Structures are given as structure tokens and as C-alpha cells.
Amino acid sequence: MIRTQALTKIFTMKKAADITAVQDLTLSVAEGEVFGFLGPNGAGKTTTVRMLTSLIGPTSGSAWVNGYQVGVDDQEIRRSVGILTESPGMYERLSAHKNLTIYANLYDVEDVEGQVGKYLRILGLWSRRDDPAGSFSKGMRQKLAIARALLHEPKILFLDEPTSGLDPEAARLVRSFIEELRGQGRTIFICTHNLNEADRLCDRIGIFSSRLIEIDTPENLRQKLYGRKVVFHLRHLDTDWLKPIQALKGVIEVSPVEQKLVVSMDDPEQLNPQIIKLLVQAGADIQFVGELRHSLEDVYLQTIRESDDKEVPA
């Protein structure tokens, strides 16, 4: 659905050094996939989205969106994708209905009234359809912008910071709507700073800072960085119990933390029963066992930090 090959964008500046916004980006996003594009401010996420939606052209490299090549089939790309821009401006003086009607016509939607009505209802804006968009709250404007991106039923949707600046309730509404869209089999490319949101919504994540640093499922990213860790909460801890556990095949590291044992391992499903058996045989009272999950935020920050460290000259 989306494929890029060494996609690069350099902005030439007249009075300053050139800016490489995107460097050698190679990735592919499959049909129906929700792909999260994470990176710090100024990382080049919006530039990437603009290139993939044929708003701007790449300096070098190539990209295909829905089978169309960026820079060659730009009209077809614009016709087949929907975009929620980072700052989704509306025609403030015009009603929500009029705003959507304009875009439905520009996207050559056949049943303009039907589609406009459908998305106004789905996004809960029907009762406010005749109100000027300028009178809407930020959450309502964001919903209106999402409706605008969907009017022509695009197979691919680009969402640039879809919940940025929204209150928790509005953000939840938008998130659950994205989940619904995912259920419809659309390919969704999300740029976000909200790591919990990315964790919840995305099948795969690309961590990006001018270049792609990591790309994988959230789970695999965690595993790559931290491995899998299981915490055994005990009534009391005897350090003698550590050795036999350490000796088990597949256990990477065992560390005591207060009255807990934190065990890094490859395959907890296989090893947990063996560890529990060893602990019980040794006389340990196990209160409960749980997997230690690092948040995506930890993964993201660690990845970005490591990437920055690599770039610091020795």
C-alpha cells in the first residue's frame, strides 16, 4: 500500500545551511495496517506525510502509494488518500455542512449529500451541521477534519497528530473512531507524539528522526531493547535461590529487587512454571507473578537517546 525507497527530502535555504528533513527513508506499510510514525518535533514526520500525499516532491528516492508513484501520479495519489493535517484549518465562516460539501465536490464524490450526512452523523456533528466551523471547539474541529479526510472513502488515511491538543474525552473519541476505521480494513499512517495512543492503535511503529531508527511492532521493540522480564513477588527473598534460576536455559538475568525477583528471559510461557517450581521447592512463598512491561515511552526515549549518542562525534 505504501512503499518508500531511500526517500530523501532536503530543503535548500538561501541564507542558511540546507536542511535534510528526511534521509534515505525505506519502509513499507501493508494494506489494512495501522502504522505509527514516532519522532521528536522537527524530525521530518510532517514532511514525510506531505511527500506521501504528493503535496511536496522528494529530493531523491522514490515512493509508491496505493500503487501510484509519488511525483508521477500525483493526482491519482491525492484522489486515493485522505489526510488530516497537523493544523486542520476550516473555512471558519462556513457551516460544517458547507465545509464538507466543498471538499466532497473537490474529491469528486458522487453522492455528496449522502457522504456529508453520513460522516456528520458518525462523528456526532449532525446537530451542529449548520453552525459555522469557527464556533466549534477544538475537538469538534478535529472531528470535522477527520470527516473531511474520509468523505471520498480513501483506502489510505494519513493522520498527522490526530489527538494533539484535545481534551481526554475528545481524544478518546477520536481514538475509538480510528479503531473503527482500522476495523474497516483501511491503511492508516499516524504521526503522533502520544505514545500510549501509538501503543494501543498501531500494528507497527517506526521511530524516526530524519532517518528511520527502528521499525517493528510495539511488542518486538520492547523485547529488542529490554527483553522480556517477569517479576516474582515473594514474602521474603533468599539470595541462594538466584543461582538455580540463573542456571535455567533461556534465563538471561536474575536480579533481586527488595522482596522481588526480576527475571529476564526469552520465553516466559515456557520458563515461568520451572522457576515457580524451583522457588516453591526452595521454600519461597510466592505472592504473585507478573510480566514487567516497559511502556512505549521508555522504548521511544531509549531509542532516540541511543540514536543521538551514535551521532555525537567521539
Partner 1 sequence: MKHIKTIIGKEWAEVFKNRMVLFTMIFIPLIFTALPLVMLYFTGQGMDEMAAVTADVPAEFLAVCTAEMSGGECMQVFVVNQFLLMYMMMPVIIPVTIASYSIVGEKATHSLEPLLATPISTFELLAGKSLAAALPAIIVGWFSFGLFLLALPLINVSSIVIGYIAGPTWLLGILVAGPLMAIAAVNFAIFVSSRVNDPRVAEQISALLIVPILGLLFAQVAGLIVIDLLVMLSFIGGMVLVDIGMIYLGVSIFQREKILTRWK
Give the interface with partner 1 as residue ranges (CB under 8 A).
11, 13, 47, 50, 53, 55-57, 75-76, 78-79, 81, 83, 85, 87-94, 98, 102-103, 105-108, 145, 148-149
Q: Looking at beta carbons only, is 89 or 183 nearer to partner 1?
A: 89
CA distance 285 to 235: 5
Q: Which helix (H) or strand (E) holds 187?
A: strand 187-192
18 CB contacts (<8 Å, ≥6 apart)?
10, 11, 12
167 CB contacts (<8 Å, ≥6 apart)?
139
CA distances (Å), origin 271, targets 56, 217, 235, 255, 297: 52, 23, 21, 16, 27
Q: Looking at beta carbons only, is 158 or 241 nearer to partner 1?
A: 158
CA distance 215 to 204: 7
Q: Looking at beta carbons only, is 147 or 299 nearer to partner 1?
A: 147
Which SS3 state, helix, strand or coil, does residue 28 take? strand
- Smallest gap from Cβ 259 to partner 1, in A, equals 55
Q: Looking at beta carbons only, is 53 or 163 nearer to partner 1?
A: 53
CA distance 287 to 168: 35
- Smallest gap from Cβ 173 to partner 1, in A, equals 21
Q: Looking at beta carbons only, is 93 or 172 nearer to partner 1?
A: 93
Q: Looking at beta carbons only, is 39 or 82 nearer to partner 1?
A: 82
CA distances (Å), origin 47, targets 141, 149, 249: 23, 18, 47
Q: How many residues does the chain have?
A: 314
CA distance 96 to 128: 7
- Smallest gap from Cβ 8 to partner 1, in A, equals 15
